[in-house]
Amino acid sequence: MNEKRVTFASKVGVIAAAAGSAVGLGNIWRFPSQTADGGGAIFILVYLGCILFFGIPLIISEFIVGRSSQANTAGAFHELAPGAPWKWVGRLGVLTGFIIMGFYMVVCGWTLDYLVQSLTGSLHKVNDFSANFTSLLNNPLRQIFWMILFTLLTAFFILSGVKKGIEQSSKIMMPMLFLILIILAVRAILLEGASSGLSFLFMPSLEHVKPTVFLDAMGQAFFSLSLGMGCMITYGSYFNNRINLTKTAMQVAVLDTMVAILAGVIIFPAAFALTANPGTIVDELVAGGPGLLFITLPGLFNQMPVSMLWAAMFFCLLALAALTSTISLMEVVTLYLHEEYRLSRKMSTFIVTAGVIVLGVISSISAPFFNLLDISSAKFMLPIGGFFISLFVGWYLDKKMVYAQLTNQGTLKTAVGFLKTYIFLLRYIVPPAILAIFVYGLTG
C-alpha cells in the first residue's frame, strides 16, 4: 500500500474523527444499561480500570499499527508481518465490525424513530414511556425501516470520502453533543430525589455485583473506545507523521469516558427521581435491558420547558454521534474490501451495506439474535482482538519502530519511563489480564 494516502487535514480533525468513532451509542445507550446491570458504582470502578490499563495502551497500539503500515486493518498486519498469520487478527476485526453494525444500526434506527416522535410531538403526549418503547420493539417493520435508512445514510458518507464526510461532521457535532449532555445532566441532578441516583452511580456497594462484572466492564470499555477491531488502525492509517499518538489516545479516552459518565449522571438521577416505585427501582434498573435510555429520558424531557425542542435536539445529536461511529465501522469493512480485493469503493460499500441490512433485519425481528451479536462482539471478539494486538505490538513489532512511532522519529520528548511502562503493559499486563477476565467471567 505505497500509494500516497489521504490524511486528515488538521489535528482537531484527527481528534474529532477518532473521538467521533469512540463516542456513540456505546456511551449514551449501552453504558447506562451496562452500569445498571452491573450494579452501579462497582461496575464503573472496574470500567475505569479497564480504560486505563487496556484502553489507553491499546488505542496507542492501534494507532501505531495503522500509521506505520498506512493500510486497512487486515492489510496492516500483512504489511508489518508479511506471510505471518497475524493478518487473521485484522480479518477478525473486519468480521467484528460487520457483526457490530448488525445490531448497532437497529439502535441507530430507534434514535431516528424517537427523533421523529419528538418532532411530531407524539413523544410529548405519551403517559407510559415503557409501553411506548415496547411498542417500537414489537413492531419489526418500523424498526427495519429506520435501520435501513440509517445504514444508507452511513453508506452515503462513506462514499462521499474521508475528509469531507468524517472530519467535518465530527467537528461540528461533538461539541454540541457535549453541551446538551451537560444541560440535561444539570436538569436531572436538580430533580427531587435525584441524589439516590447519584449514589447508585458513585457509592460502591456490593449488593448487586455479579461475578461477570469484569467481563462486562472490559467488553464495555473495548466497545466504547472502538477498540480491538481495527477502527483505530484504520483511522491511524490516515494520520500524518506529526500527530502525537499518545496524546491523541489520551484525549480520545478522556472525552469518551466523560461522555459516558455524563450519560450516567443524566439517566440515573432521572430514573430514581421519576420512578413511580422507588422501592424497587434498583431491581428494575438491574433487570432493565436495553430500553433504559429510551424509557427514562423522555420522562426527563417532560420535566423541562419546551420539552419537544430538547427531545428533538437530543435525539438529533445522538443520531449524529451514532453516525460518526457507524461511519468508522463501515469504513473498516469497506476499506478492507476495497484494498484487499481491489473492488471499487462503490462496490465495496454496496456489499457491506447489503450485508448489514440483512443482519439488521434479523436483529430487528429477533431479540435473542440482537443480544447474541451484541454479546459476542463486545464481550468476546473485541477483547480477543485486543489481546492479539497487544501481543503484536508488545512482542512482535520491532521496539525501535514502536519507539519511533511514539516519539515521531525522535522529535517528541517522550519520557523513557513512559515508553518502558507502555511496552511492559502490552507484554505482561494486558494479555494475561484479558485471559484472566475471560476465565473468571466464564467460570465464576
231 vs 312, beta carbon nearer ligand PHE:
231
55 vs 274, beta carbon nearer ligand PHE:
55
Give min distance, CB of 132 to ligand PHE, in A.
Answer: 23
Q: Torsions phi, psi of 280, nearest 5?
A: -110, 10
25 vs 58, beta carbon nearer ligand PHE:
25
Give min distance, CB of 27 to ligand PHE, in A.
Answer: 5
Tell me the C-alpha distance between 313 and 319, whole Å: 10
Give min distance, CB of 22 to ligand PHE, in A.
Answer: 5
Give min distance, CB of 371 to ligand PHE, in A.
Answer: 16
Give min distance, CB of 232 to ligand PHE, in A.
Answer: 9
Look-up of cell digits 486497512: 72
Instruction: Please tell me what DSSP assigns to residue 166.
Output: I
333 vs 425, beta carbon nearer ligand PHE:
333
Give min distance, CB of 260 to ligand PHE, in A.
Answer: 8
29 vs 268, beta carbon nearer ligand PHE:
29
112 vs 282, beta carbon nearer ligand PHE:
112
196 vs 257, beta carbon nearer ligand PHE:
257
Cell numbers at residue 186, please?
A: 444539570
Cα dihedral 178, 182, 183, 185, rounded to 10, equals: 130
Give min distance, CB of 124 to ligand PHE, in A.
Answer: 27
Helix orientation angle between 41-50 and 213-224, rounded to the nearest 10 degrees: 60
48 vs 404, beta carbon nearer ligand PHE:
48
Give min distance, CB of 95 to ligand PHE, in A.
Answer: 12
Asked whether 396 and 86 are in contact (CB, 8 A), the reply is yes
Burial 75-89 (b: 16+ CB within 10 A, else e): bbbbbbbeeeebbeb
Contacts with 190 (C-beta within 8 Å, 6 or more apart), sequence order: none
Cell numbers at residue 432, please?
A: 494475561
34 vs 405, beta carbon nearer ligand PHE:
34
Asked whether 385 and 223 are in contact (CB, 8 A), the reply is no
Give min distance, CB of 279 to ligand PHE, in A.
Answer: 33
Give min distance, CB of 23 to ligand PHE, in A.
Answer: 6
Instruction: Please tell me what DSSP assigns to residue 413.
Output: -
Give the residue nearest to ligand PHE (CB). 26
Q: Site residues (CB under 6 A) for ligand PHE?
A: 21-22, 24-27, 100, 223-224, 226, 229, 231, 325, 328-329
| Burial zone of 383 (CB within 10 Å; 0-12 exposed, 13-18 middle, 19+ buried) | buried
Tell me the C-alpha distance between 127 and 295, whole Å: 11
Look-up of cell digits 414489537: 138
Element (H, E) at 425: none
Alpha-helix runs per DSSP H in 23-139: 25, 31-37, 41-50, 56-69, 73-80, 87-120, 129-137
Nearest to 297 by CA among 317, 269, 322, 257: 269
71 vs 381, beta carbon nearer ligand PHE:
381
